[in-house]
C-alpha cells in the first residue's frame, strides 16, 4: 500500500519552496544536452492554484501549510509584474528583466525576451484577490490584444480560424497573434471565476476551443492548437478543468470527444504523471477511469514536462515555422513541486481509491 498521501505530498512541496517563495524548475533540451535552472513564476502560481483547490479535502495541518506556502509565493509575484507597472505578468522576472535566466546564450538575444502573457496573468489573478477595478482593466486589456483588435492579425493558425477574434497569448504591442488552447482555457477560467462580462472575444475563444476538439486537430496536430503545451493530454487536462468548474454550454458538445480521447491517450501514455493527469480529466468529466498506481512515481516525475517553449514559435514566416515543432527547436520545462501537486490532485479527486 502506498505511503503517498495528499498530506505527505503537501509536506514535500512545502519543503521544495525556496526562500524567494518560488518553486524550483528546470528547462532542458535533451537533443542538445542542455539543462538550466529556471527562474519563473508560472510553475509557482500553477502549484498554488492546484493546492488551493485541494485545501478543503486535507487535514488542518496541511491546510496551514498550503496557506503559508501560498503567502510566500504571492510575495514573489511583483518581481514578475509588467515592467511599467501595469497589472499583467511575465513568465520571467521583469524587475530587472531576466529572460532565460542562468543561461549563456539566449539571454543575450532580444528575440527571446518575451512579453507578458495571458497564461501567467490568469494564474496571478486566480491565486490573489484582485478588486473589481483591476478585473475590469484586465478585461479591457485582453480585448486590446485580441486577434483583429490591433495592428496584427493571426497568421500561424488554420485558415478557418484567422477571422476569430479570440484572445492572443501575448500582450506585447509588437508581438504576433498566437492562439493556444491551454492558455485560452486558463484565461477563460479566470473570466468565468470572476464572472466578468462576456463579449465577442470570449465567444470566439470558446469557438476555437470547441473546434480544435470537434475537428480532431488537437489530436492530429496538438502543437498547432497549443504551441506552448503541444500535447493532446495537456489540452484535455486544461479544457476538462474549465468544463468541470463552470457551466459553459458552448463546450458541452465536445465532452464525449474529450472523454474518448482521454481514454485513448491513457492507453498510449508511458509516463504515469501524464496518465494520472488524464485520469483526473476523466474524473472531472464524470468518468471512473482505471486506477493509476503511484508507488515509485518519483521516476516518472523526474521525466515529466508540463509545457514547452518553441524557439521558432514566435516567427510567422512559413519557412521558419515549418521547423518549429521539431524537438531540436523546443525547450521542455519541468517542476517537481507542480508535478507532485498533480499527483495530490489525482488522489484528492478519488483517483487513488
- What tens digit of pLDDT does each residue of 51-63 get? 999 999 999 999 9
Which residues does the chain have with pLDDT short of 70?
1-2, 96-113, 310-329, 352-353
Query: How far, in Å, are 67, 70, 142, 216 from residue 63 at the CA level?
Result: 6, 11, 34, 40
pTM attached to this predicted model: 0.93
Count of Cβ atoms closer than 10 Å to residue 6 Cβ: 21
Mean of per-residue pLDDT scores for the chain: 90
Domains and CATH numbers, the chain: 6-348 (1.50.10)
Q: Which contacts qualify for 97-106: CB closer than 8 Å, 24 or more apart?
A: 98/39, 100/36, 101/36, 101/37, 101/38, 101/39, 102/36, 102/37, 102/38, 102/39, 103/36
Instruction: Note the pLDDT tens digit of each residue in 122-164.
Output: 999 999 999 999 999 999 999 999 999 977 899 889 999 999 9
Instruction: Note the pLDDT tens digit of each residue in 226-271.
Output: 999 999 999 999 999 999 999 999 999 999 999 999 999 999 999 9
Q: Are strands 34-38 and 25-29 parallel, antiparallel or unpaired?
A: antiparallel
The burial of 176, by beta-carbon neighbours within 10 Å (0-12 exposed, 13-18 middle, 19 or more buried), is given as middle
Q: Report helix, strand or coil for 97.
A: strand
Amino acid at each position: 500500500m502506498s505511503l503517498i498521501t495528499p498530506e505527505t505530498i503537501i509536506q514535500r512541496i512545502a519543503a521544495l519552496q525556496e526562500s524567494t517563495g518560488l518553486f524550483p524548475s528546470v528547462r532542458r533540451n535533451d537533443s542538445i544536452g542542455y539543462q538550466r535552472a529556471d527562474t519563473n513564476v508560472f510553475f509557482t502560481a500553477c502549484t498554488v492554484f492546484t493546492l488551493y483547490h485541494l485545501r478543503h479535502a486535507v487535514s488542518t495541518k496541511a491546510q496551514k501549510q498550503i496557506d503559508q506556502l501560498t503567502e510566500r509565493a504571492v510575495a514573489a509575484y511583483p518581481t514578475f509584474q509588467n515592467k511599467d507597472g501595469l497589472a499583467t505578468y511575465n513568465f520571467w522576472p521583469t524587475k530587472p528583466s531576466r529572460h532565460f535566466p542562468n543561461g549563456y546564450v539566449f539571454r543575450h538575444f532580444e528575440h527571446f525576451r518575451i512579453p507578458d502573457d495571458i497564461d501567467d496573468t490568469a494564474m496571478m489573478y486566480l491565486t490573489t484577490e484582485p478588486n473589481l477595478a483591476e478585473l475590469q482593466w484586465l478585461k479591457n486589456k485582453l480585448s486590446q490584444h485580441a486577434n483583429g483588435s490591433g495592428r496584427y492579425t493571426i497568421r500561424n493558425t488554420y485558415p478557418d480560424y484567422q477571422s476569430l477574434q479570440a484572445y492572443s497569448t501575448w500582450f506585447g504591442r509588437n508581438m504576433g497573434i498566437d492562439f493556444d488552447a491551454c492558455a485560452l482555457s486558463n484565461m477563460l477560467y479566470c473570466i468565468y471565476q470572476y464572472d466578468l462580462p462576456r463579449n465577442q472575444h470570449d465567444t470566439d475563444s470558446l469557438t476555437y476551443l470547441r473546434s480544435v476538439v470537434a475537428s480532431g486537430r488537437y489530436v492530429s496536430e496538438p502543437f498547432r492548437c497549443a504551441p506552448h503545451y503541444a500535447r493532446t493530454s495537456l489540452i484535455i487536462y486544461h479544457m476538462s478543468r474549465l468544463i468541470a468548474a463552470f457551466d459553459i454550454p458552448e463546450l458541452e458538445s465536445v465532452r464525449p470527444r474529450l472523454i474518448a480521447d482521454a481514454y485513448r491517450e491513457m492507453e498510449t501514455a508511458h509516463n504515469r504523471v501524464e496518465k494520472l493527469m488524464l485520469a483526473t480529466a476523466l474524473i472531472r468529466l464524470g468518468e471512473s477511469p482505471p486506477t493509476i498506481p503511484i508507488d515509485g512515481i518519483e521516476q516518472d516525475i523526474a521525466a515529466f514536462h508540463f509545457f514547452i517553449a518553441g524557439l521558432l514559435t514566435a516567427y510567422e514566416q512559413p519557412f521558419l515555422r515549418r521547423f518549429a515543432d521539431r524537438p531540436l527547436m523546443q525547450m521542455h520545462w519541468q517542476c517537481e513541486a507542480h508535478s507532485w501537486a498533480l499527483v495530490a490532485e489525482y488522489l484528492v479527486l478519488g483517483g487513488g481509491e
